[in-house]
Structure formats: structure tokens, C-alpha cells
Amino acid sequence: MSTGRCEVGRDESMSDPTTPAISIRGVTKRFGDVVAVDDLTIDIREGEFITLLGPSGCGKTTTMRMVAGFEEPDAGDILLRGEDVVGVPPNKRHVNMCFQNYALFPHMDVQENIEYGLKLKKVGKDDRLRSVQAMLAIVRLEGYERRRPGQLSGGQQQRVALARALVNEPAALLLDEPLGALDVKLRKQMQLELKRIQNELKTTFVYVTHDQEEALSMSDRIAVMNDGVIEHLGSPREVYERPATPFVADFVGVLNAAELAVSSVDGDRAILTINDRDRVVAPTLGQQLPTGTLALVAVRPERIEITRGAADADGGSRLSGTVAQVVYLGTLTQFHVDTAAGRTFVVHQLSTEGSDAIDAGDEVTLTWPVEDTSILRVGAEA
Amino acid sequence: MNPAISTGGRRTLWVMFWFLVVFLYAPIIILIIFSFNDSEIVSFPWLGFTTKWYHQFLQEPALLSALKTSLLVATMTSVVATALAIPASIALVRRRFFAKGLVSGVMLAPLVIPLVVLGISLLILFNAVGVPLSPFTAAIGHVVIALPFAILTMVPRLERIPAALEEASRDLGASAMQTFRLITFPLLVPALISAFLISFTISFDELVIASFLVGDQATFPVYLYSQLRLPERLPSVIAVAVVILVVSVIVVVTSEAARFITERRLEAQTGMAADEYGSLRGGKG
């Protein structure tokens, strides 16, 4: 099922692994006075699972719709496997999309839905049936050919939508918050399924979501978007542990941040002293940090060790404080601690029999290793 | 039981409802009764049961030819009005364009323009351009008044077809025309049937515009109206009216039932979208 059914550059560019599946170059899109996407540049590699993550209105869906051809950029280029597709209508672009509410054709059964694209490409009946069967096996819906979309559950409809897009062997599959309509349990299950299907087919997946957990659990790379620009592009681990900006840090998870002055730099680590007991130590990562500059430093709640009374930091950060609140969350227990840094820090600890020993009002010490501190910003907020 | 309505209030509503039913349907019942009365005078007392008026009208060539003219005019009207309403409603629902409110106002204006005014102005227009009056000119006049109804029938249906279906079709390789043919049109069929029947009914019993524009081939309402001058013709006119009434009720009820069933079936299959719309529509589901 792979003979010349594509409109946009497959043959030679396919064999060159360095050509990105999708290349977005300096793309800008305005709606009236609103700049939805602002001079955005990104290369999406062949075969990767990339997520555009951001709050609603950040431009992630607009970006995806420009790749699919439903919106045209006001400036910039979009290349699919090396060929410029700006101005090419959606039906002539070799990408396919999974829509938020699946958009299955209600008057067609599963078989007709899936073979829709192949029929339009004039694929013969036998080939069509074979492709549909292969896809149904991949999405695990064998035997559902004659069902109508209305007779399927949400998860099954989602699988049909995937099959309908993937059967066309697109250069990239675009997924627009595809799991948004499912309940939590099904959503987790479909996350794993999506990842499995992507591994099996090695198709480039471009996934749009506002759910950071979804992004972290499935992606090879995440592009965190805000106000039409990519604030951070990196692996889930990088984005989570070393967020490039305060926005990324905040959006990708609960974050403890405080603005402190640099007291000294010792090799590759900066020391931000608060008083003779409390200090934050951060890796400089090559940044110039003159003594006295303000830096916004951050640490994730689950990286912090909480100890009653005093504790040794062992060269890392140490903050003393008073527990303001203890929240039991099942597996985790959350402590809200008013710290010497002048901010309330949130600490997550696995709930053990010991962790309920710390109560509100207790004096505690928070400690964490050097590499868990990230410097989000140097200098005061503009 | 509605907690917002007291027992007394419910009784009042009940009385009003039956008053309305009687008010609407009593004249029709009386019409049916008198169509079987064995008397040339349409009035009580009842002089016996007869079906002779029904036999009589079947032997009236002028009446039959008026019926034929009306069927012709109504068919032309509904075909043209429905065909025009498709692109018009798609533009109104799917496209965003300058002064959309104004455009939709202009398209729906015939709803509020008095028929006499419309009839006279079309008559003047046809005279000025030199088009001879005929069933065709009457059909043109009827298209003007039927089009708004056809559009208003199709717009809600089109609004319930998620635009994402059309985008999905384009995304899967269909051109705009293929998308219309394979997706939009099949889902729009129930509304097309409704629009067709509504246009047909509007044209079929329209008197004012037809009397201005039809020329010497009277349509059925024009013929009926002219016969009212002749008292001895009245009973058979009534008999025809009853036949028309019964036939049109059967046609409209069956087609609406068919439309309701197909829509229910389609909506059950639209999955998510249907659920949302279903709850919006409230009672009908």
C-alpha cells in the first residue's frame, strides 16, 4: 500500500534522514489585531513524537492548522519533507489530522470512514480492504467494519479516527487534543495506545495539548508555547527539570521559585545566601552571574527533602521554615512551608508512616541537591 | 409536573389550549362536513349525505387544468427555491464575510414585504422587460417568497453538521466539491426534503402573487377564488378543498415523520456532537 499515493515530496527526501518531516520557518499568523503565532520556527524530525504544549490561545492549534492547510500563514514558510506547502490546499498536503471530537462521518460505517482517503486516491478495492484490515489490527478494532460511529464508545471512535488518518501513510499525523473528550481512565489507556501505535508505525506525530502530564508521558520532545512563541523546546526531562523560562516552569508543573541575590560563584555553582543558615546553591551552566545580581531560582516540589528540625545540606540548598499546612493526597503528602526565602514552598513526599509525623506548625528544614535548582531568570523582571 | 405553574394556572392553560385547537380546526371540520351536504346552499340545516360534489368537480375541465397549473408552478418553485437555498444557507452558516447581517436581512426580507406590493412590483418588472405572463412568471414570484422559508429550514440543520466533518474530508484528500457531494449533501438531505415541501405548499396555496403573475392560465387558488362568485359552484369547490387538504396533510405528516426518523438516526451517529446538540435542543430528543 505504498506506491506513489502522495502529493508532496516523498521519494528522494524520504531517503534523506536529515530532511525534517515538517519545517516551520518564521511563521506568523494574525487574526485581526491578535497575533496568534509570532515568527515561529521549528523543525520536526522524521519519526518523532513532538508535543505542542501550552494554554488555550497560545497558538498551538493555529500552528497545527497551518500545517494541515486550514489556515494560511501571514508570513513565513512551512515545508513538508523539504517542499514548501504554503498556498497548497489541505487535500493536497500529505499530512493527516485527528480532530478533537473525532469528526467521524456519521452516515458511513467504520470501513467506509477508514477507506475514505484511499477511495479518493483511487486505490483499488482489494488494496483498500487490505489496508483497512491492517489498520484495524493496529488499532485493535477487528470485526467492527460494519459498525456506525454512533454505535461505538468514545475510545473506539478515537481509534477509528486514528485508523482513518494513518491508513493514508501521512508524512506526519497531527493530533488536536485527541483525548480531551475521554474520561481520565480511558485517557491514560489511550496515551499508552498512541505511544504504542507510534512506535509500531514510526510515523511522525505532532500532538497538541494543554495537559502537561500527557505531554510529559508521551513525547520525544515538547515545545512549550505561550503567546504565539515557543518558550522552550526540549525533551520532557529537560522541559520539566530545567525549564527555560518562568512560564515554562510554572506551566509544566507546580514550582517553587524565589528571587535571590547571588553572593558568590564557586566554579560551576552559584551560591545565593539568605542568612548564615539558609542558602540556595544552583548550577551556573556557563551563565555569567556577577555577585549581587538577582536570580529567579526554582526547584520542583518532589525534589525537596523535608526534615523536622535542623538538617545538613551536604553542599546543596538548605532552607529553614515553618509548616503552614499538610495536605494528604494519597500516595503523596503535600507540605506547604513558609520559608526563610520569603516564599511558601510546596514539598511532595511519598506518604509513609513517617511523613505524617510532621505537622502544621513544626519547624522544618528543606534540603535539595545542587543540580535540582534551576535558574529561570537572571536580573529583575523587566 | 411543572413547579412554576399553580393548579389554577394549569387549568387556564388547558382551557386556552383547547380554545386554540377549536379556533384553528373548527373551520376545517365544518368545511369537511359541508362537502358532504346534499344542498347547494352552504349552510344548515343538513339536507342529507351525498358525494355528488366530489363527482362533479372531477368533470370540471377548468378546475382540473387549474390544478395542473398549480402543480406545475409549485414544482418549479420548490425545485428552484431549494436549489438556491443550498448555497445561500451554506454561505450564511459556514462563511464569514463583510456585512453578513445585512445580506441575510436582504435574503429574508420577502417574509415581511406585503404580497400585494411584491406582486405588483414583479408585474411591472415583467411588463417593462417584456416577459409575457405565464406559469413561469408566477413560479418566479413564488420563488421570491418561498426562498426565505427554504433557507430558514436548512440553516439549523447545517448548523448541526460540525464543520470539522468537512475539514476532515478535505484533510483526507477530498476537494471542496467532493466534500459537498460526499459529506455535506448526504447529511443535508432531510432538510432538503423539508425545504422542498415547504416551498411546494407555499406556492400551491398562494393566491395574491399568482393572480398578478400567472396570466390567463389560472392556478388552483386563483380558480377557486373566481368560482366564489357563482353560488352553485361553491359545494364542488369545497369538495376540492377537502381533497387538497387531506392530501397535503398526509404528504406533510409522512415526510416530517420520515425526516424526524432519518435525523434521529444520523444524530445518534454523530457521537459527541449529537449529544451536545441533543441537549441543546431539549424536548425534541
**pLDDT tens-digit series, residues B171-222:** 999 999 999 999 999 998 888 988 998 899 889 888 898 888 888 888 888 8
Task: Give the bridge partners for A22, in sequence order.
Answer: A44, A80
Assign A380 a pLDDT band (cuts: 50, 70, 90): low
> A162 and chain B: CB distance < 8 Å anywhere?
no
Residue in this structure with the C-alpha cell 525537596, named with its chain if needed: A304
DSSP characters over A294-338: EEEEEE-GGG-EEEES----TTSEEEEEEEEEEEE-SSEEEEEEE
Q: Does residue A3 surpass a pLDDT of 80?
A: no
Q: Do B164 and A103 touch (CB under 8 A)?
A: yes
Tell me which chain A residues have a C-beta less than 8 angstroms from the C-beta of B274: 106, 150
| Chain A residues with beta carbon closer than 8 angstroms to that of B178 | 120
Amino acid at B43: S
Match 527526501 to its residue by C-alpha cell: A13
Name the residue among B167, B172, B178 with its Cβ closest to that of A164: B172
Q: Hey, do A11-94+170-250 and A254-378 end up sharing a CATH topology, with the first three levels equal?
A: no
Helix or strand or coil: residue A122?
coil
Residue B273 clears pLDDT 60, i.e. is over it: no
Which residues in chain B are closer than 8 Å to A100, comparing Cβ atoms? 164
How far, in Å, CA of B236 to CA of B78, rounded?
A: 28
Burial A261-299 (b: 16+ CB within 10 A, else e): ebeebeeebbbbebeeebbbbbbbeeeebeeeeebbbbb
Closest CA to B191 of B97, B104, B262, B103: B262
DSSP A73-90: -SEEEEEETTEE-TT--G
Ramachandran angles phi, psi of A210, nearest 5°: -110, 5
DSSP B131: P
Using CB atoms, pick whichever of A97, A148, A154 lies closest to residue B269.
A148
Contact A104 B271 (CB under 8 A): yes
Element (H, E) at A346: strand A344-350
Which positions in chain A touch B168 (Cβ < 8 Å)? 97, 99, 103-105, 164
CB contact under 8 A, B269 and A151: yes
Q: B268 to chain A: which residues are within 8 Å by CB?
A: 150
A245 against A67, higher pLDDT: A67
pLDDT at B3: 66
Nearest to B174 among A99, A103, A120 (CB): A120
pLDDT tens readout for residues A266-306: 888 889 988 888 889 988 887 788 888 888 888 888 889 88
B266 in contact with A, Cβ within 8 Å: yes
Nearest CA in chain B to A169: B172
Q: Which chain B residues are closer than 8 Å to A157 by Cβ? A: 271-272
* pLDDT at residue B268 in the model: 56
CA separation for the pair B51, B35 (Å, rounded): 8
Amino acid at B190: P
A interface mutation test: which of B171, B182, B185 has the most A CBs within 10 A? Answer: B171
Closest residue in chain A to residue B164, using alpha carbons only: A103
Check CB contact under 8 Å for B174 and A91: yes
Question: What residue type is A316 in one-letter code?
Answer: G
Per the model's pLDDT, the better-predicted residue between B270 and A336 turns out to be: A336
Calpha distance A194→A188 (Å, rounded) = 10
Q: Is pLDDT above 80 for A126?
A: yes
A84 has a pLDDT exceeding 70: yes
Expressed in angstroms, the distance from the first to the final Cα of chain A is 56
Correct CATH for A11-94+170-250 of 3.20.20.70, 3.40.140.10, 3.40.50.300, 3.30.750.24: 3.40.50.300
Would you state the pLDDT for residue B143? 94
Question: How does strand A221-226 pair with strand A49-53?
Answer: parallel
CB < 8 Å to B190, chain A: none
Higher-pLDDT residue of B110, B74: B74
Sign of CA dihedral B165, B168, B174, B175: positive
**Residue ranges per domain, chain A?**
11-94+170-250, 254-378
Q: Do A181 and B272 touch (CB under 8 A)?
A: yes
Q: Is it the case that residue A354 has pLDDT exceeding 80?
A: no
Residue B219: which of B229, B230, B209 has the closest Cα? B209
A105 contacts on B by Cβ (under 8 Å): 165, 168-169, 183
Q: Which residue has the higher pLDDT, A315 or B126?
A: B126
Among candidate residues A272, A250, A292, the one with its CA nearest the CA of residue A341: A272
Matching residue, cell 363527482 = B55
Cell of B270: 454523530
CA distance A103 to B273: 9
Q: Rounded to whole angstroms, what are the CA distances from A93 to A207, B76, B158?
A: 18, 42, 27
The nearest alpha carbon in chain B to A156 belongs to B271
For residue range A157-194, list pLDDT tens digits in order: 999 999 999 999 999 999 999 888 788 888 888 888 88
Is the pLDDT reported for residue B282 higher than 50?
no
- Distance of alpha carbon A246 from alpha carbon A10, whole angstroms: 40
Q: Which amino acid is at A103?
A: A
CB contact under 8 A, B268 and A150: yes
CB contact under 8 A, B168 and A103: yes
Closest Cα of chain B to A148: distance in Å?
A: 6
Cβ atoms < 10 Å from Cβ of A15: 8
- Residues 6+ positions from B131 with CB-CB distance below 8 Å: B137
- Pairing mode, strands A317-328 and A374-378: unpaired
Cβ–Cβ below 8 Å for B270 and A150: yes
CA–CA distance, A1 with A244 (Å, rounded to integer)? 43
pLDDT in tens, B244-259: 888 888 877 887 787 7
Which residue in the block uniquely carries the three cell numbers 440553516?
Answer: B155
How confident is the model at residue B216, as a pLDDT?
Answer: 83
CB atoms within 10 A of CB B164: 18
Q: Measured between beta carbons, which residues in chain B are less than 8 angstroms from residue A164?
A: 168, 172
Structural domains for chain B: 61-227 (1.10.3720.10)
β-strand A317-328 against A332-339: which pairing, if any?
antiparallel
Burial A18-35 (b: 16+ CB within 10 A, else e): ebbbbbbbebbbeeeeeb
Q: Which ipTM did the prediction report?
A: 0.75
pLDDT at residue B175 in the model: 92
Cell (9 digits) for B178: 467532493
For A254-378, CATH gives 2.40.50.100
- Cross-chain residue pair A91–B170, CB shorter than 8 Å: yes
Cβ neighbours around A96 below 10 Å, total: 27
Beta bridge partners, A257, equal: A298
In chain B, residues with a C-beta closer than 8 Å to the C-beta of A152 are 271
Contact present, A209 and A177 (Cβ < 8 Å): yes
Among A108-122, B52-66, B155-169, B262-276, the least confident range: B262-276
More confident site: B172 or A10: B172
Please report which confidence band the pLDDT of residue A232 belongs to, taking 50, 70 and 90 as the band edges: very high
Print burial letters for B165-202: b (CB count within 10 Å at least 16), e (below 16).
Answer: bbbbbbbbbbeeebbbebbbeebbebbbbbbbbbbbbb
Spatial separation of the C-alpha atoms in residues A39 and A273, rounded to whole Å: 40
Could you tell me if A17 and A204 are in contact, meaning their C-beta atoms sit under 8 angstroms apart? no
Nearest CA in chain A to B276: A101
Average pLDDT over residues A332-361: 82
d(CA A262, CA A271): 6
Residue B65, by phi and psi: left (phi above 0), alpha (psi -120 to 50) or beta? alpha
Contact of B20 with chain A, judged by CB distance below 8 Å, is answered with: no
Please tell me which residue, B104 or A147, carries the higher pLDDT value.
Answer: A147
